[in-house]
Structure 1
């Protein structure tokens, strides 16, 4: 069964509105024979006349009235669809799927979201809490648009991974502990410790930091939520090594923060697919890029 062309329906509506083939042709910028052909094709497709002449004016038949009513809705829907798509192309609206760790979501992403809310309020940001490995996998198969990942990462086919931030890893220690101005692996290895979950890059970095000094401490517990770790530190449960973003205040007086010796850094990158980047996704990338630190 052949489908009905929107162009033919538009011609029918123009005739119904103007009561004249000639006026409809002028309004649509079509030749009069083309307008006649459109109606002939519609009537052949429907199987009944759609227009009738009454008192020298062309009016829709009963079937024509029904089709005109439905045609108006279809044409309006088509125009709305094109407008929505165009707004998406222009970056005025859109949905961007972003994956990141809890630390980045809690302390870095809100700053970018505030900028986006002010400049591009119709862009919907959907956030998923993921490890770097999960983020890259979802980017590769098209389930994410942007990812914040720990660095370094091996090259990934079809993905762009750019260095974004370098934040110091600090020692977070219960305030009632007496601790030196700079924390060494030797001093910390003799204390009770809270590590990040073993699946995270920060956990591996922490283990390597201790191992280079010849220590292999066993933590009391391992978590993958930095704010929960800080709560345990505040309660005196143990000390932890966590990244500290420059703009993030340390408000809990039950915790003291000390730099490490030797220094340790948490590096983050921004990842996205190498193919065409939609405008809405580019707006998110731009907002994130403005938070970069090297």
Structure 2
């Protein structure tokens, strides 16, 4: 049985006239697409393409398979539309709330996958810094929202008819300027070792700061905050410049706008949980499908 992905690759090469242009259209690298085409030729037991200096053209066997490939792909697309209508996923709108970090790091691949599978559904993304996304779902402003909670911290109760589903659980880690002595070893760093170092942190009322400062005090390392900033991107930028150190979620530390040193902390009980909040009193097939995509892609621990 022929793989539909490889049949689509053959159609793309036929229409683009070259493997390079087809790879650009499909979002593949040229070697990856060439590998798919080579596998298709092995499945067919015949050469399907002839490469030349201006691109590639189909052989007689390739032209024969091309006609069948288009029929197969058309039938599969028709089946997808019919199944979407059956599941209530043909037409309509899905609105997603998110905070900035999740919008940059988690949403793009999930939204892209959802769009490919259900192109008839309009998508909208709105920004809500936690916990405002929870209130937005409760008020019906969005169908679901990504939010976060921190440990240690007192959990906030959810409004009636809402539920929260964890998507990603990650540790908070130390970030320093590149080459800083605190980030030079691979073993976990005891919190007590942060004593005396200038700390860059977020606003005082935010749960991550409260939890981090409480943990430092308990470890005998009373924090000395030298700069307060509104978001983690600026925290990492200031850390990178050598202004101080910081404790941030691991996904933030691994994807900073500026280079930083990273080290795990001991004990590893400072955590952030990113969750998707949604309603339970109203059926919403599109929201259910999108939550399944999030679970499949990110339902794990970052560590």
Give the TM-score, by structure 2 length: 0.61
Q: Which runs of 5+ in 2 are unaligned?
A: 1-83, 150-154
Give the TM-score, by structure 1 length: 0.63
Q: What SS is found at the alignment partner of 2:237?
A: helix
Q: 1:251 to 1:196 in 2, by over 3 A?
A: closer
Q: Which runs of 5+ in 1 are unaligned?
A: 1-85
- Alignment pair present for 1:267 and 2:243: no
Match of 1:173 in 2: 176
Separation of aligned partners in 2, 1:169 and 1:110: 23
Q: Is the 8 A contact 1:160 1:272 kept in 2?
A: yes
Separation of aligned partners in 2, 1:123 and 1:147: 17
Match of 1:241 in 2: 247
- Alignment pair present for 1:292 and 2:294: no
Q: 1:88 to 1:257 in 2, by over 3 A?
A: farther
Match of 1:224 in 2: 230
Separation of aligned partners in 2, 1:277 and 1:222: 43
Q: Is the 8 A contact 1:173 1:256 kept in 2?
A: yes
The equivalent position to 1:201 in structure 2, one of 207, 215, 237, is 207
Give 1:251 shift.
8.1
Give 1:106 shift.
1.7
Kindly provide the CA deviation profile for residues 198-243 of structure 1, in whole angstroms up to 9, marking residues without a partner as x: 3433222212221322444242222332222222121112211111
Q: What SS is found at the alignment partner of 1:245?
A: helix
Match of 2:144 in 1: 146
Q: Is the 8 A contact 1:93 1:280 kept in 2?
A: no
Q: What SS is found at the alignment partner of 1:96?
A: strand
Q: Is the 8 A contact 1:172 1:257 kept in 2?
A: yes
Kindly provide the CA deviation profile for residues 79-120 of structure 1, in whole angstroms up to 9, marking residues without a partner as x: xxxxxxx96972123322222222211211222122123222
Q: 1:163 to 1:173 in 2, by over 3 A?
A: same
Across the aligned residues of Structure 1 and Structure 2, the Cα RMSD in angstroms comes to 2.7
Which has more radius of gyration?
1
Separation of aligned partners in 1, 2:230 and 2:123: 23
- Alignment pair present for 1:256 and 2:256: no
